[in-house]
């Protein structure tokens, strides 16, 4: 799956990593819904760090469609609340 982190670029993430990412996404969803700013900030950072760690960066000139778009590291709780779907940021 091709994942874009807003303001950073794209990475290719193997499907086998989505259980780890979904666990962080579920935690982030709960923190956003509960208005837990400190928890939200910590978990968003952990989610983005995980994507950077396990993903394979695509070249800057690659024009692949992103299947998943994640917020920038400096996104606010309100920004992320607008991006959330019923399943969080990561479907499934």
Q: What is the pLDDT of residues 76-91, one digit of tens each?
A: 998 888 887 767 788 7
The phi, psi pair for 88, rounded to 5°, reads 95, -155
Residue 88 is classified by DSSP as: B
Q: How far apart are CA 49 and CA 80, in angstroms?
A: 17
For tokens 């982190």, what's the residue? 5
26-66 pLDDT per residue, tens = 999 999 999 999 999 999 999 999 999 999 999 988 878 99
HSE, side-chain direction, 13 A CA sphere, residue 28: 31
Q: How far apart are CA 39 and CA 61, in angstroms?
A: 35
């Amino acid at each position: 799956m091709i994942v874009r982190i807003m303001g950073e670029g794209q990475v290719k993430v193997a499907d086998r990593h989505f259980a780890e990412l979904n666990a962080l996404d579920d935690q982030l969803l709960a923190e956003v819904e509960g208005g837990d700013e400190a928890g939200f900030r910590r978990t968003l950072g952990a989610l983005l760090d995980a994507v950077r760690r396990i993903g394979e960066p695509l070249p800057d000139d690659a024009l692949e469609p992103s299947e998943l778009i994640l917020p920038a590291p400096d996104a606010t709780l309100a920004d992320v609340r607008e991006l959330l779907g019923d399943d969080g940021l990561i479907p499934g």
